[in-house]
Structure 1
Amino acid sequence: MGNRLSKIYTRTGDDGSTGLGDGSRTGKDSARVNAYGTVDEANSCIGLVLASELSDDIRSLLTAIQHQLFDLGGELCIPGHAAIFDADIERLEAHMDALNETLPPLKEFILPGGGEAAARCHIARTVVRRAEREAVALARVEAVRPEAVRYLNRLSDLLFVLARVLARASGHGEVLWNHERRKA
């Protein structure tokens, strides 16, 4: 692969449009651009988690997820393209099950926090949730493969479990919502 991006600015988007992966153009505020743009934002948030102190296995998992999110962004940018498959979703579920086995049952809601890596993971989780909402909104007006939406749904769940693991590993522990605070 040569220098595909030798010139970063093209001026073609100065009119408020952008090129899709199939060569067509659409508005920068279109549902499709919102969907893949939010996937890109989620990927950047995972990069922020990766800037934290992490174990090698978690670092490897998140790096693999970043590659898959780039693939997913491509799928959403190229109408009709397929890049995320059931096996990708099943891998997320397997990682989530393995991580969740080490955690105590959840009896209370958790507030975002629990140390720097966990807090960053919570931010990534919420941005992935938004990417899922954007993909669902796109699916209401254009074709979106259900695997894309399911992948984002599972990824946000995995990031929640991972935030719990990171909070415990940091020594900060999970921040539980105190629903009794108003009764005092």
Structure 2
Amino acid sequence: MKKSLLYTRTGDAGTTSLIGGQRIAKNSPRVSAYGSVDELNAMIGLVQAHCADMDNFVTSTLLTINNTLFNIGAYLATPSDDVTIASPAKDEESPSPIAPELLSELEHQIDLLDSSVPQLRQFVLPGGSIGAAHAHVARTVCRRAERDILTLADTGAYVHPAVLTYINRLSDYLFILARYINHFNGHPEITWKQ
């Protein structure tokens, strides 16, 4: 019987391979960073499933985000060239793993959704419809991914600033998306009562 290609047994002792073959501990800051991005990507897929009957621009944006997060995960899974000091010169030398138009488009989508919902006058609690609740969970996973990427950078590993900018903006998008999903479905938002 031929062995399944779904398991390799190489990670049984708690290590994994980075792109390029280097093995590191599965609980290292690098693996935590791209693991959180992977979890975020799965959450985006769940949100997308809830948005299947919504406007095409929402599902199209979520698919673009899926692809971008996969690219960010691959970037984080590739060890840097041991250049550990971030500087403006380093940023100019390193190609951005995020195309500038992806960030611009995400900001455009934030503005579009924000213009479609009532003005925010109170703090909104996570929840409402199931889709909005999942968008809020995705937002919190996004913030954790951001913290894990910063932790990786704190170890001295170089992380291009565009990665952090995109992840930060993505959490804003997920917040307004949650509000838009509730609005689209006619579901009242839950506001904080002090």
Whether TM exceeds 0.5 here: the answer is: yes
Measured after TM superposition, the shift of residue 85 of structure 1 is: 3.2
Aligned counterpart, 1:154: 169
Partner of 2:103: 89
Describe the SS at the equivalent of 2:5: coil
1:169 is displaced (CA, Å) by: 1.0
RMSD of aligned alpha carbons: 1.5
Deviation at 1:152, TM superposition (A): 0.6
Task: Give per-residue Cα distances to partners, 1:102-135, cap 9 Å, x unaligned.
Answer: 2232121111112011111111111011101100
> Shift of the alpha carbon at 1:98?
1.4
Matched, 1:107 2:121: yes
Matched-pair identity in %: 45
Q: Offset of 1:83 from its aligned partner?
A: 2.5
Aligned partner letter, 1:123: V
SS at match of 1:103: coil
Normalising by structure 2, report the TM-score.
0.85
State the TM-score, normalizing by the size of structure 1: 0.89
Q: Distance in 2 between matches of 1:29 and 1:86?
A: 31
What is the deviation of 1:158?
0.4
Give the Å deviation of 1:22: 2.0
1:176 partner SS: coil
Q: Deviations over 1:126-173 (max 9, x none)?
A: 101110110011111111111111111000000101110001111112
Q: Residues of 2 paired with 1:70 and 1:54: CA distance?
A: 24
**1:16 partnered with 2:30:** no
CA-CA distance at 1:64 after TM superposition: 1.1
- Kindly indicate whether the alpha-carbon contact (under 8 Å) linking 1:68 and 1:84 is maintained by their aligned counterparts in 2: yes
When structure 1 is superposed on structure 2, of 36-45 and 87-96 the one drifting more is 87-96
Aligned equivalent of 1:134, options 141, 148, 163 = 148
Q: Which residue of 1 aligns with 2:85?
A: none
Hey, what's the Cα distance between the residues in 2 that align with 1:108 and 1:118? 17
The alpha-carbon deviation at position 82 of structure 1 amounts to: 4.9
Supply the distance in 1 between the matched residues of 2:76 and 2:132 (Cα, whole angstroms). Answer: 28
Q: Hey, what's the Cα distance between the residues in 2 that align with 1:91 and 1:133?
A: 24
Structure 1 residue 94: deviation in Å? 1.2
Aligned pairs for 1:1-184 within 5 A: 7-52=5-50, 53-80=53-80, 82-141=96-155, 142-179=157-194
In 2, Cα distance between equivalents of 1:135 and 1:58: 26
SS in 1 for 2:16: strand
Contact 2:48 2:59 in 1 (8 A): yes
Residues paired across the two proteins, number:
174
Q: SS in structure 2 opposite 1:26?
A: strand
